[in-house]
């Protein structure tokens, strides 16, 4: 029995030091750390006092080994937009600020055939308490099957409810796009171009559906020739803009499914000598930094990614921290987007 080696005072204090000082067993200290209710107040006080005095902090690696689980949550993403990732991260961190949890950010490559193996390796090695999965990979069912199999909690983040409320946080893209489009229609603009996002993902579909909803609701016919394909990147917005604008019956407004493509549309307009606004109104989606840096500043939809991060992390963590609800409604799924009116289109 050399457990008291640590009492020599060198290095950081361990549970043994606390136990010795408090005059209890280490299991009792462990109980205190884990907020066990099975303790007398007197013992609790003694242990707390000893912990204070020693400045003891439990060793996460040792806990991880014993619990087969790291006190860490992970963010899985394959998102080319740095600002989106960072804003989400900000929300997550604000939610876990007062906990002992760590955050690991894991970018993955959705085009890689080894994607799933890569994620599995990461999860089995790191053993996080749970994972937060950002779009677009949040739409892949195989990743959730994997999480279930490995018994790792998860939250999917997307542009529409992708799972049951306990496992999902979503924005209301369809609804807000409908609203914004309706505002354009209400101004008398009947010919509105639309630049789609990439095929195979959910958010472009939601946004397009919202666009179509507005036309349907207002009984306005939608000209299919004004629907252009994009892929969320600048160049595709530029190309789509040229396609839509370089013709006799060009639209009076263009809705691009994200801000990056909207800036591409602006470039297309300028290169054709069109004034925005004036000859053309342009709206985007996301409200990234780009939206307020282009000229004219972009009327767009604020996608509440930071709020979504906070809610997602809160949901995930509440499973482990019990009553810790962070004044936040855990049943909430949808974080509402809202319209931001700037110079490129007046509503």
Q: Which of 86, 186, 216, 275 binds its own copies (CB under 8 A)?
A: 86
Closest approach of its own copies to the CB of residue 88, in Å: 10
* Residue given tokens 């989606």 in the structure block: 285
Whichever of 36 and 112 has its CB closer to DNA, that residue is 36
Helix (H) or strand (E) segment spanning residue 133: strand 128-133
Residue 8 near its own copies by CB under 8 A:
no
Residue 3 near its own copies by CB under 8 A:
no
Residue 149 near its own copies by CB under 8 A:
no
Helix/strand/coil for 197: coil
Closest approach of DNA to the CB of residue 124, in Å: 11
By a kind-dependent CB cut-off of 5 to 8 A, residue 34 interacts, out of its own copies, DNA, none, with DNA
Closest approach of DNA to the CB of residue 68, in Å: 6
Residue 81 near its own copies by CB under 8 A:
yes
Closest approach of its own copies to the CB of residue 281, in Å: 16
Both tokens assigned to 296:
């004219």
By a kind-dependent CB cut-off of 5 to 8 A, residue 102 interacts, out of DNA, its own copies, none, with its own copies
Q: What angle do CA 168, 94, 206 make, to 5 degrees?
A: 35
Alpha-carbon distance 338 to 205, whole Å? 18
Kindly give the interhelix angle for 41-54 and 15-22, rounded to the nearest 10 degrees. 120
The binding site for DNA (CB under 7 A) comprises: 2-3, 5-6, 11-12, 14-16, 23-31, 33-34, 38-40, 42-44, 56-59, 62-63, 65-68
Alpha-carbon distance 304 to 22, whole Å? 48
* CA dihedral of residues 248, 250, 252, 258 (deg, nearest 10): -160
Q: Which of 295, 319, 329, 332 binds its own copies (CB under 8 A)?
A: 295
Residue 34 near its own copies by CB under 8 A:
no
The sheet that has 102-107: what strands, in order across it? Answer: 102-107, 70-77, 128-133, 153-158, 168-171, 334-335
Whichever of 104 and 227 has its CB closer to its own copies, that residue is 104
Cβ neighbors of 56 (< 8 A, separation 6 or more) are 12, 13, 14, 15, 17, 18, 50
Residue 285 near its own copies by CB under 8 A:
no
Contacts to its own copies by CB under 8 A: 12, 57, 59-62, 64-65, 68, 70, 81-87, 89-90, 93, 100, 102-107, 121-122, 124-127, 234, 260, 263-264, 266-267, 270, 289-290, 292-295
């Amino acid at each position: 029995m050399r457990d008291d080696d640590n009492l020599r005072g060198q290095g950081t204090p361990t549970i043994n030091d606390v136990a010795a000082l408090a005059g209890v067993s280490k299991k009792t200290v462990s109980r205190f750390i884990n907020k066990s209710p099975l303790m007398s107040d007197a013992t609790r006080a003694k242990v707390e006092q000893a912990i204070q005095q020693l400045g003891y902090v439990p060793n996460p690696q040792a806990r991880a080994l014993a619990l087969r689980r790291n006190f860490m949550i992970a963010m899985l993403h394959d998102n080319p937009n740095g600002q989106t990732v960072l804003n989400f991260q900000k929300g997550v961190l604000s939610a876990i600020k007062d906990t002992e949890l760590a955050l690991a950010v894991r970018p993955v490559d959705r085009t890689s055939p080894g994607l799933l193996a890569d994620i599995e390796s990461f999860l089995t090695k790191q053993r996080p308490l749970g994972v937060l999965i950002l779009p677009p990979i949040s739409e892949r069912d195989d990743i959730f099957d994997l999480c279930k199999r490995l018994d790792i909690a998860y939250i999917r983040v997307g542009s529409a409810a992708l799972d049951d409320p306990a496992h999902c946080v979503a924005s209301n893209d369809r609804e807000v796009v409908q609203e914004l489009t309706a505002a354009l229609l209400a101004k008398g603009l009947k010919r509105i171009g639309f630049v789609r996002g990439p095929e195979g993902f959910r958010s472009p579909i939601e946004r397009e559906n919202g666009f179509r909803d507005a036309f349907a609701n207002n009984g306005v016919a939608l000209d299919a020739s004004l629907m252009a394909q994009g892929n969320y990147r600048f160049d595709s917005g530029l190309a789509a803009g040229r396609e839509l604008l370089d013709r006799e019956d060009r639209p009076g407004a263009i809705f691009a499914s994200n801000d990056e493509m909207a800036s591409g549309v602006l470039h297309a307009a300028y290169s054709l000598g069109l004034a925005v606004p004036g000859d053309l109104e342009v709206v985007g989606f996301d409200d990234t930094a780009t939206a307020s840096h282009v000229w004219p500043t972009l009327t767009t939809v604020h996608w509440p990614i930071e709020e979504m991060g906070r809610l997602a992390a809160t949901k995930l963590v509440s499973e482990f921290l019990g009553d810790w609800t962070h004044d936040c409604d855990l049943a909430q799924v949808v974080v509402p987007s809202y319209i931001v009116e700037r110079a490129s289109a007046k509503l």
